[in-house]
């Protein structure tokens, strides 16, 4: 009997220790996902802090891996991209041997897409549907520029039509959810999280990173964007002419360390089409405010391939 009692006592002690360990683990997880000491009073305050975080970034240049998922299957590759406010875009898809396979340019008015495999150059207005011929997802060019920089595009709204709340999952870092009711039955959800190093600061000094953006119209999702793996950015260096003939091109904006997502996933409601941009070395291959020339966002008409007018609206 005494032996059985000792075994029972030992079992109860083990169970107690397990409970204490479990409670400590949960407490640690909650601590890792702690709430900011000072919270944003209103949704517009949160959005203002987001804009302030990214105000230094006029544009971004990067080298990234891309994954396309669409009706025709999956395509993977490498891309060099340049995105400058308000809606200037350039993507160059390259082979493992450094050969350009496709180039998209859009300067806010004109769009061009050169596709080597199809032997064609599409030209037309810089509309959402034309840019989506490359991205596979119907994200407006101005929104795509902002998302690549790490910022959320924000629908037009009145102060009374935007709301905010803090969500604190048990085992994950917490975040704000901002909901916006806009015009034409449009609505938006933006998830924001203060930078970990800013959690103890007054809300007026906190910087934020964007985790998710969803835009709906009449209840239907137009597009979603998810971001993760943020790291501090860096300003691009001046571009020096290797031949010493032309002048150096300075950075296109001020010093900037705004956070850049390591991974940007763009997708539509049904999940049938999506694009994943996986940034390489942020701060080295991915930089804010890059130098660029006047012809960065335009393509001359090519004489070696067919030119097709893309008239989608």
CB neighbour class for 117 (10 Å; exposed up to 12, middle 13-18, buried from 19): exposed
Exposure string (b/e) for 88-101, b if CB count within 10 Å is 16 or more? Answer: bbbbbbbeeeeeee
CA 217 to CA 269: how far, in whole Å?
12
CA 188 to CA 162: how far, in whole Å?
9
- Strand-pair partners of 278: 65, 263
Per-residue confidence (pLDDT) for residue 271, from 0 to 100: 63
Half-sphere exposure of 140 (CA within 13 A, CB side): 14
- Kindly report whether the peptide bond that precedes residue 86 is cis, defined as omega within 30 degrees of 0: yes
CB neighbour class for 133 (10 Å; exposed up to 12, middle 13-18, buried from 19): middle
Give residue 201's Cα distance to chain centre. Answer: 25
* Domain parsing of the chain, residue ranges: 43-74+135-291
Residue that is written with structure tokens 């102060």 in the block: 159
Per-residue confidence (pLDDT) for residue 4, from 0 to 100: 45
What's the start-to-end Cα distance of the chain, in Å?
85
Per-residue confidence (pLDDT) for residue 9, from 0 to 100: 46
Per-residue confidence (pLDDT) for residue 270, from 0 to 100: 67
Per-residue confidence (pLDDT) for residue 17, from 0 to 100: 45
Is 128 in contact with 141 (CB distance < 8 Å)? yes
pLDDT, one tens digit for every residue, the chain (313 residues): 444 444 344 454 445 545 544 444 434 434 455 789 999 999 999 999 999 999 999 999 999 999 987 767 778 899 999 999 999 999 999 988 888 999 999 999 999 999 998 999 999 999 999 999 999 899 999 999 999 999 999 999 998 999 999 999 988 899 999 999 999 999 999 999 999 999 999 999 999 999 999 999 999 999 999 999 999 999 999 998 877 787 889 999 999 999 999 999 999 876 678 999 999 899 999 999 999 998 999 999 998 899 999 987 6
List CB contacts of 213: < 8 A, sequence separation 6 or more: 147, 152, 153, 188, 189, 190, 191, 224, 225
Per-residue confidence (pLDDT) for residue 33, from 0 to 100: 57
């Amino acid at each position: 009997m005494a032996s059985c009692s000792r075994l029972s006592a030992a079992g109860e002690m083990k169970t107690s220790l397990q409970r204490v360990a479990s409670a400590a683990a949960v407490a640690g997880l909650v601590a890792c996902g702690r709430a900011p000491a000072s919270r944003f009073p209103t949704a517009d305050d949160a959005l203002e802090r987001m804009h302030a975080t990214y105000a230094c970034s006029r544009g971004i240049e990067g080298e990234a891996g891309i994954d396309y998922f669409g009706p025709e299957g999956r395509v993977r590759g490498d891309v060099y991209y340049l995105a400058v406010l308000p809606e200037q875009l350039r993507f160059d898809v390259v082979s493992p041997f450094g050969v350009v396979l496709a180039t998209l340019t859009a300067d806010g008015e004109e769009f061009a897409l050169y596709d080597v495999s199809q032997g064609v150059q599409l030209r037309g207005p810089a509309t959402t549907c034309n840019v989506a011929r490359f991205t596979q997802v119907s994200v407006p060019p101005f929104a795509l520029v902002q998302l690549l920089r790490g910022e959320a595009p924000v629908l037009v709204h009145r102060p009374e039509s935007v709301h905010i709340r803090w969500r604190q999952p048990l085992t994950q870092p917490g975040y704000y959810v901002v909901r916006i009711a806009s015009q034409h039955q449009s609505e938006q959800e933006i998830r924001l999280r203060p930078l970990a190093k800013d959690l103890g600061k007054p809300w007026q000094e906190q910087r934020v990173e964007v985790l998710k953006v969803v835009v709906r119209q009449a209840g239907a999702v137009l597009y979603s964007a998810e971001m993760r793996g943020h790291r501090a950015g860096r300003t691009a260096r001046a571009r020096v002419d290797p031949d010493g003939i032309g002048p150096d091109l300075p950075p296109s904006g001020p010093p900037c360390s705004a956070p850049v997502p390591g991974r940007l996933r763009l997708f539509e409601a049904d999940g049938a089409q999506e694009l994943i941009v996986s940034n390489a070395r942020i701060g080295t291959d991915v930089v804010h405010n890059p130098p660029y020339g006047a012809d960065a966002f335009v393509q001359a008409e090519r004489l070696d391939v067919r030119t097709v007018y893309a008239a989608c609206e």
